[in-house]
Structure 1
Amino acid sequence: MFNKKLKLGNAKLDSDTILFFLSTILFITFFEFFGKNISNNALSIILITFIVFFGLPHGALDTLIAKKFNLYKNFYQFLIFNFVYISLALIIFMIWQIIPTFSLAIFLIISGYHFSEDWDSYNIDKIKKLALGFSIINLPVLFNMDLVEEIYYYITSSDYVYSFLSFQLAISYLNLLLLLYILLSKTMSINIFLQIVLLILSAFILDPIPFFICYFCFFHSLKNFKESKILLLNINKRKITFAAFINTLLSIILGVIIFFLIYSDFNLKNITSLIFIGLAALTVPHMLLRILIRGK
């Protein structure tokens, strides 16, 4: 029974929630009507397009943020910063090829924690933030385990993912219970309430890849990009746009080179592998930068 004493605080919806609501409705509508007619290659193109245009740019401002916090002060140090950033990403990518299942487990933990930071702007405790962050990787397991199993196999080529998923399924049920507990709390922000409803609804209706695109591109990335722009408030807008464009372009070029060196064939398995392992590789230096600037 729904909690009758529930009081939704902060009755005004913020722009992040509104955009997430609209994008979720659009995604659900589109994939309900056209999902069955979308081939795997078409889904690959959709995945690449959204990640490139809406996902990558939110980390493309890291060079400007590093300069803002004096992590480099001249052109020579700028080159060193970029070399270390790219090298770290490439090392993570190579480690994944050697120990894929272990890398997947670590990536999911890092991702859940990183996603939880999307709720830092809301007045809720850390446990609730973690429940929200980890729901992004756990809800699809509850509602589409077979498809998640397929994705995990794509990015690891290991039979160990089946045992791993059994463990994650148990964690996912606990995660869902935590979300329901948050929903039934006596006081909460209307924004948090609606975001949880949207996450559960979209995870239930959408396949894992469209679900991830919807959240990652239209909540996580745009929210982070907006927060990065606030950090860079005194920086010329053209400079911000140029940095985002150049760094996104470099990521694309690097991705294309890796694709032709390792994968070659254009299919959903290879594209999914490239995108998710690539995101894992970029997430590590991106998060390390966040840790460094918080210490300043």
Structure 2
Amino acid sequence: MNNYPSIAIVLSFLGLWITSFFSNDLQVGIGFVLILSFGILHGANDILISKSIMNRKNQLSKMKIIYLYITVVIFGAVLFYFLPVITLLLFVIISGYHFGEQQLDYLKGELLQYNFVFKTLYGLLVLFLLFGFHINDVIAVVYEITSYSIDEFLIINTLYLILILFTMNYIFVFKKLKVNQSIFLNELFYLLIFAIIFKVSSLIWGFTIYFIVWHSMPSIINQTKFLYGSFNYFTFMKYIKEALFYWVVSLIGLFLFYFLFQDIKLFNTLFFSFLAAITFPHVVVVLMMLKDKSGQ
């Protein structure tokens, strides 16, 4: 799937075109469904991946992994409830690293610790480009989750700071790391595409396009290759079969949330809290997988 970025570009603009037929409320509804279906699917095999790594290292059993995973999810949810501001900030930073890690997974080896900083800045730049084009919506969501009102200048200034730091780091990494420079230059083009998508679309729909097309699907491809050695129709079906139980549970949870909490503000809070809680262990599992692939 070396041509996947080209496919992602087509899907992204197709997603923008489709929105011309949808109302904003319908975009929000479809966005939630996609995020909690395909989005959750890309993390549904975390336990299987952990088990595969642990088996080779003769470490934890599957049941212990499940208990540990559930504990981390519950802890994340509780942390979000009692310390929403701190946990939300942590969630944004961790998500930034996770997005950058997926997008720039070809940066390995030399200057590995420096890669961590650069990948985090890349992911944060993607997020704050989205935030910057939808400041009022972001302020409203943050207030719903934390009851804390942030200033729009905080978002703008943070975006500028991240952009400056990213530019400095990009120049350094471009010169120092032994990577295909044409591929590395493509990342600037992708950032431009993200900016266009975020500018034209709504907050939820813009995030949905990025999260599904640019993050979740490439992650599923990488995970399938890790688990089964290659990515094709048969291994993809095998991946889905293994993930089906956790995927279905997530979808059931979505419908329960909808029927129990039809107040959209309360639903938004629960939605982001749930997303944050499952993100924390998922980031750790993906990091373990990437290190195992590189033999570190």
**Range class of TM-score, shorter chain:** 0.7 to 0.9
Instruction: Describe the SS at the equivalent of 2:136.
Output: helix
Q: 138, 142, 153: which one pairs with 2:143?
A: 153
Structure 1 segment 200-215 matched on structure 2, within 5 A: 200-215=195-210
Instruction: Describe the SS at the equivalent of 1:232.
Output: helix
Q: CA offsets, 1:98-139, max 9 Å, x none?
A: 111111111111111111102333459735433321123211
Instruction: Describe the SS at the equivalent of 2:42.
Output: helix
Is the alpha carbon distance of 1:265 and 1:242 closer, same or farther for their aligned partners in structure 2, counting shifts above 3 Å? same
Instruction: Describe the SS at the equivalent of 2:17.
Output: helix
Worse overlay, 171-180 or 43-52: 171-180
Worse overlay, 196-205 or 247-256: 247-256
1-side partners of 2:197 and 2:212: how far apart?
14
Q: CA offsets, 1:128-165, max 9 Å, x none?
A: 43332112321123222111111212322x1x2414x5
Q: 217, 220, 233: which one pairs with 1:222?
A: 217
**TM-score (norm: length of structure 2):** 0.79
Structure 1 partner of 2:92: 108
Structure 1 partner of 2:150: 162
**Contact 2:28-2:205 at 8 Å conserved across structures:** no
Is the alpha carbon distance of 1:239 and 1:27 closer, same or farther for their aligned partners in structure 2, counting shifts above 3 Å? closer
* Structure 2 letter corresponding to 1:38: N
Aligned residues with identical type, % of pairs: 24
Q: Give the number of equivalent residue pairs.
A: 272
Give the Å deviation of 1:280: 0.7
2-side partners of 1:91 and 1:253: how far apart?
21
Does 2:47 align with 1:87? no
Is the alpha carbon distance of 1:267 and 1:191 closer, same or farther for their aligned partners in structure 2, counting shifts above 3 Å? farther
1-side partners of 2:194 and 2:140: how far apart?
21
Is the alpha carbon distance of 1:25 and 1:177 closer, same or farther for their aligned partners in structure 2, counting shifts above 3 Å? farther
Structure 1 partner of 2:24: 38
Structure 1 partner of 2:178: none
Q: CA RMSD in A?
A: 3.2
Is the alpha carbon distance of 1:115 and 1:62 closer, same or farther for their aligned partners in structure 2, counting shifts above 3 Å? same
2-side partners of 1:194 and 1:245: how far apart?
35
Is the alpha carbon distance of 1:142 and 1:241 closer, same or farther for their aligned partners in structure 2, counting shifts above 3 Å? closer
* Structure 2 letter corresponding to 1:269: K
Does 2:163 align with 1:176? yes
Structure 1 stretches of 5 or more lacking a match? 1-12
Worse overlay, 63-72 or 22-31: 63-72
**Contact 1:43-1:268 at 8 Å conserved across structures:** no
Q: CA offsets, 1:268-287, max 9 Å, x none?
A: 32332232211110111112
2-side partners of 1:168 and 1:43: how far apart?
24
2-side partners of 1:214 and 1:94: how far apart?
29
2-side partners of 1:18 and 1:211: how far apart?
18
Instruction: Describe the SS at the equivalent of 1:69.
Output: helix
2-side partners of 1:161 and 1:193: how far apart?
33
Q: 24, 29, 36: which one pairs with 2:17?
A: 29
**Contact 2:132-2:155 at 8 Å conserved across structures:** no
Give the Å deviation of 1:59: 0.7
**TM-score (norm: length of structure 1):** 0.79
